[in-house]
Amino acid sequence: MSRRFTVVMAALAAIGLVLPWFVYPVFATQLLCFALFAVSLDLLFGYVGLLSFGQAMFWGGGGYAAAVLLQRAHVDDVFAILGGIVYAAVLAFLVGAISVRRSGIYFAMITLAVAQIQYFTAYQFTDLTGGENGINLATRGLFFGVHITSDRTFYYVVLVLVALGVWLALRVVRSPFGRVLQAMRENEPRAIALGFRVNRYKLAVFTLAGALAGFAGALAVLANRLAGLDMVDWHTSGAVVMMSVLGGVGTVAGPIVGAGIFQSLDYFVSKTAIGEETNMVMGAIFGLCVLLFRRGIVGSFLVPGPKRAKITD
């Protein structure tokens, strides 16, 4: 682990601890959720080279699952979150089983197309999902004995949970399993020749990434008390790709930074004359980033370190 990486993580932790005292706590919680969401994408794109362009189906799917459980089954918040994770993991396993048969550009197109099935399901099964209105939730309750009705208290609960998710992602990419993933990214035929069943590894990491995205989505639903169609919209899949690339893929820390910067910038741009059409600015920044700055912010900062994102070259 490089010293620079430690510096980045420490800075992120420090910002995370004080954030809800400087910005609106619900917005801050949203940032945390997107950070974990972006990390889930990094597991695929950064460490295996699989660009999932349908990651919103797990984020939104997990969010909707949690919301339906809360609204219909009146479960505790904890079980709603667990339900969101389980739903997203099962969905990711099924989608992964299909999509890991192809790689590269095909993988991106297939995940994008399959994610539309989740979108239209959420749109059309109005009895369960509320259709265009989404699912509005009442206040939050208890979380392991902690009252999470206050937005700021809930922020800190989410901070702990997101930190756990990020820790898990870091553990995975630094484990022998993670080494195999990176070997596949660098040279898949060689990984196959060494006897690794690459599709099983891909399916495993795809399921894990889906579960993490569902976890983040369920938390976002609890934070906003709303599960809406924008969560399963393919633009959200695109946005999380933009966040990750902007921050620097293959670094875990990069997508966290990218999520924070992307969300903040998007907010500031929306306050200018551009209004709702923020994507003309975000798209331009992202386009320049893809053309000139493929390592991303954190990726560039970590360059002297031993592990830099090879995929960016």
Applying CB under 8 A, does 117 fall inside the site for another protein? yes
Among the listed residues 74, 101, 147, 190, the single contact to another protein using CB under 8 A: 101
Q: How far is the CB of 79 from another protein (least distance, A)?
A: 30
Among the listed residues 29, 71, 103, 129, the single contact to another protein using CB under 8 A: 103
Question: HEC string of the chain?
Answer: CCHHHHHHHHHHHHHHHHHHHCCCHHHHHHHHHHHHHHHHHHHHHCCCCCCCCCCHHHHHHHHHHHHHHHHHHCCCHHHHHHHHHHHHHHHHHHHHHHHCCCCHHHHHHHHHHHHHHHHHHHHHCHHHHCHHHCEECCCCCEECCEECCCHHHHHHHHHHHHHHHHHHHHHHHHCHHHHHHHHHHHCHHHHHHCCCCHHHHHHHHHHHHHHHHHHHHHHHHHHHCEECHHHHCHHHHHHHHHHHHHHCCCCCHHHHHHHHHHHHHHHHHHCCCCCCCCHHHHHHHHHHHHHHCCCHHHHHHCCCCCCCCHHHC
Q: Which is nearer to another protein, 109 or 170 (CB)?
A: 109
Q: How far is the CB of 125 from another protein (least distance, A)?
A: 9
Stretch that binds another protein, among 11-19, 31-39, 109-117, 220-228 (CB under 8 A): 109-117
What is the footprint of another protein within residues 25-54 (CB under 8 A)? 49, 51
Q: How far is the CB of 8 from another protein (least distance, A)?
A: 24
Among the listed residues 11, 23, 73, 104, the single contact to another protein using CB under 8 A: 104
Q: How far is the CB of 35 from another protein (least distance, A)?
A: 20
What would the two tokens of residue 198 be? 């690459």
Among the listed residues 2, 90, 121, 168, the single contact to another protein using CB under 8 A: 121
Q: How far is the CB of 237 from another protein (least distance, A)?
A: 10
What is the footprint of another protein within residues 189-248 (CB under 8 A)? 234, 238, 241, 245
Binding stretches for another protein (CB under 8 A): 49, 51, 98-99, 101-110, 112-114, 116-117, 120-121, 123-124, 234, 238, 241, 245, 274, 277-280, 282-284, 286-287, 290-291, 294, 311, 313
